[in-house]
Each structure stands twice: as C-alpha cells, then as structure tokens.
C-alpha cells in the first residue's frame, strides 16, 4: 500500500511539473483563485473551476501577460479594460447560473467574461460595440474551442432579440439606468447584473431579478468602477 501511495504521489507531482511546463502561468492562476477569489468569499465551485482553467493571460496583450493574474483591471485597447478577476467572479456567482442557461453579455471586451460564462452554461450571446474588439474576441474564443459563444458587433443596449428570452444578462459597462430592451429580453425569474449609477465616477453593482408579472427585485452589492456604455445608452441619459 505504501508503494502504491508513493507511486500515486509521484504521478501527481510529475503531472504538476508537466502542466507547469506547458502552462507557465498555471501557478499564478491557482494563486489568483486561492487568494483573490475564494479567499475573498466566492463559494460557487463552478465559478472557481472556470477561473482556475481559463488562461486569462491570453485575453490581454503580450506586454501585460505577467500582470494577467493580479487582482486588477487591465487595458485591452480602445479605452476599454478587462475587469479584475474578483469582480468577474462576483458578478458571475451572483447570477446563480445553471448548466442549461442561455446568457446575454453586453460588452464582450477581450472575451474573458464570455469564456467564464461559457464554462458554466449552455449558450452565451455576447455583444461588443467596438468592431475590432468584437472580431478579436470572436477569433480568440474560437481558437480556444468555445463553440457555445456567439459574438456580435453591435449596440448592446438593444440586446439580441432573436435569441431572447435569456436566463441571465450581464452588463460589463456602466450605465445610469437599466436598459428597457434588456429587461424585456430577460425571462421571468431571470437575473440581470450591472454597474448602475454615474458613468463618470463610481457605480453600484446591482443585481435585478425579474419577478412574476414583471416586478423587479433589486439588490445592491457594493461600489465598482466600470468604463461607460456607449451608443444608444448615451442618448437615453
């Protein structure tokens, strides 16, 4: 028995060394999940598993890859950022996602949040208003094997009615009101999370649940700072 246990331990050690050799960021990713996500109170095992798996360094530019697993937002071009890991985890956990869910994401950015969602649900529909970011994210997600993500270049304020209703909606840009088209495309019982408030300063991370008959239950989850939603959102201020 002792020989078997030692052999098993050696196999695990060897596998770890091989994984580290093929993925030089493996240890940093594990530390990120341990310290900045689970260590700060995220309990959903599926969120933790997704973020332990996804190579976040591939969703930022090469010069920023060494910083990819720090708990901080990073620039991705065109004045946009990839959200800090803890905020990604917090927003994802709050949606209480199920494997068969269909999720709408507003603000694809580099595609990282979409990848996290894709690990957890059946279908992800993501809209990005900046064409270059949309095309780059779409290509990246396809290269990483995410066949359950559809990326669209367009104005996320209007949603994606062709695939509605959605079990959950996540908005990754700040807005000073909840876009009516997105509420309309949310299923009864569905959840919508967004940074709500001033688009110039800080916002309140807000979780909205669509009750029977269209009533809304609103939960405030703390202060955040996101880049503003553009397009139609700016006209409706």
Q: Which residues are catalytic?
A: 83
Task: Provide the token pair at 66.
Answer: 């060494």
The long-range contacts involving 65-72, CB below 8 angstroms and separated by at least 24 positions, are: 65/25, 68/25, 68/28, 69/25, 69/28, 69/29, 69/31, 69/32, 70/32, 71/32, 71/36
Residue 21 burial by Cβ neighbours in a 10 Å radius (0-12, 13-18, 19+): exposed
Structure tokens that stand for 40 in this block: 């700060």
Does residue 110 contact residue 82 with C-beta atoms inside 8 Å? yes
| Contact between residue 7 and residue 22 where contact means Cβ atoms under 8 Å apart | no
């Amino acid at each position: 028995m002792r020989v078997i246990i030692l052999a098993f331990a050696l196999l695990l050690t060897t596998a770890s060394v091989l994984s580290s050799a093929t993925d030089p960021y493996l240890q940093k990713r594990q530390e990120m999940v341990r310290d900045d996500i689970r260590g700060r109170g995220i309990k959903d095992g599926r969120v933790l598993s997704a973020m332990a798996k996804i190579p976040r360094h591939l969703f930022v530019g090469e010069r920023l890859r060494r910083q990819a697993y720090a708990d901080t937002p990073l620039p991705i071009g065109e004045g946009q950022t990839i959200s800090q890991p803890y905020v990604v985890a917090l927003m994802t956990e709050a949606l209480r996602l199920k494997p068969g869910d269909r999720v709408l994401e507003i603000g694809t950015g580099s595609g990282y949040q979409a990848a996290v969602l894709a690990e957890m649900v059946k279908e992800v529909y993501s809209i990005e208003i900046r064409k270059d970011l949309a095309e780059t994210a779409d290509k990246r997600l396809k290269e990483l094997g995410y066949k359950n993500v559809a990326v669209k270049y367009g104005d996320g304020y209007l949603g994606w009615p062709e695939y509605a209703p959605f079990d959950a909606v996540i908005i990754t840009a700040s807005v000073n009101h909840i876009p009516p088209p997105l509420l309309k495309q949310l299923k009864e019982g569905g959840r919508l999370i967004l940074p709500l408030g001033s688009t110039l300063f800080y916002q309140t991370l807000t979780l909205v649940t669509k009750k029977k008959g269209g009533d809304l239950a609103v939960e405030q989850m703390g202060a955040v700072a996101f880049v503003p939603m553009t397009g139609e959102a700016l006209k409706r201020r």
